[in-house]
Amino acid sequence: MTLDIPFDNSYAQLPPAFFTRLDPTPVKSPRLLAFNEALARELGIAPQEADLAAIFAGNKVPEGATPLAQLYAGHQFGGFSPQLGDGRANLLGEVIDRTGSRRDIQLKGSGPTPYSRMGDGRAWLGPVLREYVVSEAMHAMGVPTTRALAAVVTGESVYRETGALPGAVLTRVASSHIRVGTFQVFLARRDLESLRALYDYTRARHTPEAQSPGDMLRAVIDRQARLIAAWESLGFIHGVMNTDNTTLSGETIDYGPCAFMDRYHPDTVFSSIDAHGRYAYGNQRHVIVWNLAQLATCLVPLHDDQDAAVEEMTRDIHAMPELIGRYWLSAFGHKIGLDDASESDRPLIDELLALMAASGADFTNTFRALADGSARDQVTDRDAYDAWHAKWQARLASETGTAERMRAANPWVIPRNHRIEQMIEAAVAGDMAPFERLMRVLATPYEAQPDEAELTRPPRSAEVVQQTFCGT
Ligand code: AMP
Ligand code: MG
């Protein structure tokens, strides 16, 4: 029996220039590793006996699906690639979820497409499980993100620098897969008709209140500003913030070489391909402004009065750093217990971060320890901490519910890099218990789970993950 997925596909109705209709490439012997039942229910997918492995490997195309590979372009590390596109993914279609929102269902690692570049269109198990765990943890932490519906091993090997690895397919759910790069591909081709069709589609799907492309840009600026502040507040480093990995929906997408910091330092980089730290933790707020300036460039030709549009959009782009700063202040205010932090509170937060950076303090555990009164143990310069603590306490005197606020803003547990690596190693060896454990504990990341305290421990020196890699 097949799975009843209530497809309602709109992207497939767009002009042919937007995509290539293409079924996933079947795999040898699919086996289901994970299925997100709660998310399936949210999507209106009726739980029933079905060959989930065959469906989520792409071997069996479910009724109502219109599989396609999406076209896009993008700036990768600042250099423009005029044509990218899904090189190893198939959008099966969309469903309207329980809350009335349209959601994409996409298979990733599902075979080559006309847009594949120097690759086999496949993914290996490591990045598939990494994205599964991290995206679901991000969701549990309240960050806008794509979700993970299923993971399947294919029974085939994929070959990477390190040799043969088990192939896998991830089923990803997203508010949409429209990227800054989706607009860029049509601008690069001077295809104004498609650009307008994409604007109309995106406006209806993500910003129906927008009266103009300028309005839509402002809405995206706001969402992305909020998103970057949320990443920063959790010590999250995306790792590959190319314009093709920046969504119009404001969701985090494409968990490749992403990582959470253990020791705090704003210059932290994990990605093996980010040699110059373009996407370092502290640079994300600058890069996103640059990325949205590329979106603005794409939207200018849609205005009748282009000079006025340039002026208006330039103003909005230039205002973005301050907007990010305001969301940052609010998020980090909560992290130190303040309900509504104001500009005058900024030095208090900056001072704590400077102390943490000087100490190489654990980002997550130091903030969490504030509520328990044990943060002093996390830093090396105790005198400086005591001086900061006195100022902090004086400021907290006028607040109520501070411990609760801090526990709600500072996760008890995050998906630490070394735990992810250990989980992947176990999964490759056929042991899914570490994956199950991470999924269980990370489902309620703000709740102290004393029996699982081992997962809050920073890595020992032998466990430290120095570099992360793209899925490719
Ligand atoms: P990513 O954002 O890391 O998924 O990759 C960016 C783009 O690189 C994808 O959209 C594909 O076009 C291409 N790509 C990545 N991995 C592969 C692969 N294994 N086979 C073919 N193309 C790939
Ligand atoms: Mg990508």
pLDDT of residue 3: 87
| C-beta of 93 in contact with ligand 1 (< 6 A) | no
In the chain (472 residues long), the average pLDDT of successive 10-residue segments reads: 90 98 98 97 86 96 97 97 97 98 98 94 98 98 98 97 95 98 98 98 98 97 98 98 98 97 97 95 98 98 96 98 98 98 98 97 98 95 97 97 98 98 98 98 98 98 91 62
Pocket test for ligand 1, best of 86, 115, 117 (most atoms within 8 A of CB): 117
DSSP, residue by residue, 227-271? HHHHHHHHTEE-S---GGG-BSS--B---SS-EE-SB--TT---B
Cβ partners under 8 Å of residue 261, min gap 6: 235, 237, 268, 281, 363
Nearest CA to ligand 1 atom 7: 87
Q: E strand or H helix at 151, and its extent? A: strand 147-160
* Neighbouring C-alpha atoms within 13 Å toward the C-beta of 470: 13
Residue whose C-alpha is closest to residue 165's, from 220, 104, 124, 106: 124
User: Measured in angstroms, how far is the CA atom of residue 245 from the centroid of ligand 2?
Assistant: 5
What are the sequence ranges of the domains in the chain? 11-174, 178-410
Residue 312 vs residues 114, 213, 221, 249, 307: alpha-carbon distances, Å: 38, 11, 13, 22, 9
Contact 18, 198 (CB under 8 A): yes
DSSP, residue by residue, 393-421? HHHHTT-SSHHHHHHHHS-S----HHHHH
Nearest CA to ligand 1 atom 4: 254
Residue 265 vs residues 23, 309, 341, 356, 411: alpha-carbon distances, Å: 45, 39, 23, 8, 18
| C-beta of 312 in contact with ligand 1 (< 6 A) | no
Ligand with smallest separation from the Cα of 146:
2
Ligand with smallest separation from the Cα of 256:
1
| C-beta of 131 in contact with ligand 1 (< 6 A) | no
> 10 Å Cβ neighbour count for 46?
11
Q: How far apart are CA 13 and CA 235, in angstroms?
A: 40
pLDDT of residue 469: 86
Cβ partners under 8 Å of residue 204, min gap 6: none
Q: Which residues are catalytic?
A: 244
User: Measured in angstroms, how far is the CA atom of residue 254 from the centroid of ligand 2?
Assistant: 5
